[in-house]
């Protein structure tokens, strides 16, 4: 668990080479122009990076999250936007594997695992973020169909995805009235609102979804009616591991740039890494990243072993994303004025890091999850 297995090492090298060759040439330009390239995602799929944990029966590699996090780290070193893209398209795969019926799996999983199809996850709404159970998008039964009406916000791949896992209200108030549906990207009645102009992750599209009498067959429901929040929350547990792995890759990229700069830059006839103000900062960056990486590895290992991993996943997401924000900010500081310019990538790293403290449950929510777990443990 503490070091890569032979399989993980081989996968890491393959992911590194693929990310650098596929994403590297355009990463700076795509950030500046806020461009998402679906063909680049497909190329990552061709390299075998989009279905790491999906079973071989449905075209995936059939590996575990311990391998999945390795892939995401390497992609994130080059482009955190595309690491998030792979992770988000992986969520429908995780959901289908756990809750889909055979027909749903056969229809969607092979294309998603191959990167030929792009997946998305639609839970958040204008008035429903951390309080996901209060969502207001409705799905009303009409014969053999359900008719969806409402709006979803902050949807990664909105307008680009081929399939959306959508949470909608089929019953009364609260989380028990929510069900999950598979909605194709070309479904009649589904349209797309504004594309968010974001501080970071600018090569990752975040777009509003609008459902206006969007009709889907009843067979599109995932799991059982009223179990949508169970589906969503279990997926978010897994998603916290992938976001944490992405954050670690971003931290590693920032540390690499800062440490290299600090050994090359000289002031007062010394390498600036030899000044304690810089050297100690880099030391803290490295130590914090290693601690975050170990937490993520443990969370992935627990998931692979079929053990409870929700609490450790919350810890991993909290630690890794807070670390990414600190490490990328400190990397800018190490580079000084150069760090604030687009000549070096650390300013992009810092912008990309911030949203990781927000998505997949804000870090305040992670602390709430952990506080509740402690309460249960010590009240018992």
CATH number of residue 125's parent domain:
2.40.110.10
For residues 76 and 245, the answer to whether their CB atoms sit within 8 Å is: yes
Judge if 237 and 375 occupy the same domain. yes
User: Taking Cα atoms as reference points, which of 64, 114, 122 lies closest to residue 91?
Assistant: 122
Phi, then psi, of 351 in degrees rounded to 5:
-65, -40
Judge if 138 and 158 occupy the same domain. yes
pLDDT for the residue numbered 133: 74
For residues 242 and 90, the answer to whether their CB atoms sit within 8 Å is: yes
Helices (H), the chain: 6-22, 27-33, 38-46, 65-78, 80-99, 102-114, 228-264, 276-304, 310-335, 346-356, 363-379
CATH number at residue 109: 1.10.540.10
Prediction pTM value = 0.95
Judge if 346 and 323 occupy the same domain. yes
Judge if 340 and 264 occupy the same domain. yes
Residue 332 belongs to domain spanning: 233-379
For residues 376 and 308, the answer to whether their CB atoms sit within 8 Å is: no
Torsion sign, CA atoms 245, 248, 252, 254: positive
Catalytic status, residue 343: no
Active-site entry in 73, 197, 360, 379: 360
Judge if 126 and 184 occupy the same domain. yes
Number of Cβ within a 10 Å radius of residue 189 = 15
Which helix or strand (DSSP H or E) is residue 194 part of?
strand 190-195
Number of folded domains that form the chain: 3
Q: Where is the domain boundary, 226, 244, 260? A: 226
Q: How many Cα atoms sit within 13 Å of 150 on the Cβ side?
A: 23
CA distances from 237 to 55, 243, 376 (A): 19, 10, 19
Judge if 171 and 194 occupy the same domain. yes
d(CA 43, CA 154): 25
Whether 132 is covered by a domain: the verdict is yes
pLDDT for the residue numbered 175: 84
Judge if 103 and 68 occupy the same domain. yes
Torsion sign, CA atoms 144, 150, 151, 152: negative
Judge if 240 and 369 occupy the same domain. yes
110: tokens are: 């092979």
Radius of gyration of the chain (CA): 21
d(CA 81, CA 351): 11
For residues 331 and 255, the answer to whether their CB atoms sit within 8 Å is: yes
Whether 194 is covered by a domain: the verdict is yes
Helices 65-78 and 228-264 sit at what angle, rounded to 10 degrees?
A: 50
Strand pairing report for 163-169 and 119-122: parallel
Judge if 112 and 151 occupy the same domain. no
CATH number at residue 351: 1.20.140.10
Q: Residue-wise pLDDT tens for the chain (380 aa)?
A: 789 999 999 999 999 999 999 999 999 999 999 999 999 999 999 999 999 999 999 999 999 999 999 999 999 999 999 999 999 999 999 999 999 999 999 999 999 999 999 999 999 998 876 776 789 999 999 999 999 999 999 999 999 999 999 999 999 888 899 999 999 999 999 999 999 999 999 999 999 999 999 999 999 999 999 999 999 999 999 999 999 999 999 999 999 999 999 999 999 999 999 999 999 999 999 999 999 999 999 999 999 999 999 999 999 999 999 999 999 999 999 999 999 999 999 999 999 999 999 999 899 999 999 999 999 999 96
Whether 221 is covered by a domain: the verdict is yes
Judge if 113 and 124 occupy the same domain. no
Whether 240 is covered by a domain: the verdict is yes
Whether 65 is covered by a domain: the verdict is yes
Q: Where is the domain boundary, 165, 194, 226? A: 226
Judge if 312 and 363 occupy the same domain. yes
Torsion sign, CA atoms 96, 97, 98, 99: positive
Whether 162 is covered by a domain: the verdict is yes
Q: Round to the nearest angstrom and report the end-to-end CA distance of the chain.
A: 31
Q: How many Cα atoms sit within 13 Å of 188 on the Cβ side?
A: 7
Judge if 238 and 345 occupy the same domain. yes
d(CA 160, CA 299): 30
For residues 322 and 363, the answer to whether their CB atoms sit within 8 Å is: yes
For residues 202 and 31, the answer to whether their CB atoms sit within 8 Å is: yes
Whether 1 is covered by a domain: the verdict is no
For residues 262 and 282, the answer to whether their CB atoms sit within 8 Å is: yes
d(CA 138, CA 321): 33
Q: Where is the domain boundary, 209, 226, 243? A: 226
Whether 332 is covered by a domain: the verdict is yes
């Amino acid at each position: 668990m503490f070091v890569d297995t032979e399989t993980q090492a081989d996968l890491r090298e393959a992911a590194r080479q693929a990310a650098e060759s596929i994403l590297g040439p355009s990463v700076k330009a795509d950030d500046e122009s806020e461009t998402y390239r679906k063909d680049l995602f497909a190329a990552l799929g061709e390299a075998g990076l989009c279905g790491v944990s999906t079973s071989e029966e449905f075209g995936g590699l059939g590996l575990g999250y311990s391998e999945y996090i390795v892939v995401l780290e390497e992609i994130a070193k080059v482009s955190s936007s595309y690491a998030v893209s792979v992770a988000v398209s992986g969520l429908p795969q995780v959901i289908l594997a756990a809750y889909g019926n055979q027909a749903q799996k056969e229809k969607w999983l092979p294309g998603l695992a191959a990167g030929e199809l792009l997946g998305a996850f639609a839970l958040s709404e204008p008035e429903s973020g951390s309080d996901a159970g209060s969502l207001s998008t409705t799905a009303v039964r009409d014969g053999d169909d359900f008719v969806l009406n409402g709006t979803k916000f902050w949807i990664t791949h909105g307008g680009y995805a081929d399939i959306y896992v959508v949470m909608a209200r089929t019953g009364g108030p609260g989380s028990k009235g929510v069900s999950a549906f598979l909605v194709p990207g070309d479904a009649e009645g589904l349209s797309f609102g504004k594309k968010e102009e974001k501080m970071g992750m600018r090569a990752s599209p975040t777009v509003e979804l609008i459902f206006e009498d969007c009709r889907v067959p009843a067979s599109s429901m995932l799991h059982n009616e009223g179990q949508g929040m169970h589906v969503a929350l279990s997926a978010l547990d897994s998603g916290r591991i992938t976001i944490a792995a992405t954050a670690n890759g971003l931290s590693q990229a920032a540390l690499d740039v800062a440490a290299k700069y600090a050994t090359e830059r000289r002031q007062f006839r010394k390498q600036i890494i030899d000044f304690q103000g810089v050297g100690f900062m880099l030391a803290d960056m490295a130590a914090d990243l290693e601690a975050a990486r170990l937490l993520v590895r443990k969370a992935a290992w627990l998931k692979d072993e079929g053990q409870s991993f929700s609490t450790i996943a919350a810890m991993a997401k909290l630690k890794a994303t807070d670390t990414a924000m600190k490490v990328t900010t400190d990397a800018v500081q190490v580079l000084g004025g150069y760090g604030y310019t687009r000549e070096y990538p650390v300013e992009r790293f810092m912008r990309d890091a911030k949203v990781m403290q927000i998505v997949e449950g804000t870090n305040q929510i992670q602390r709430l999850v952990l506080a509740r777990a402690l309460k249960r443990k010590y009240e018992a």
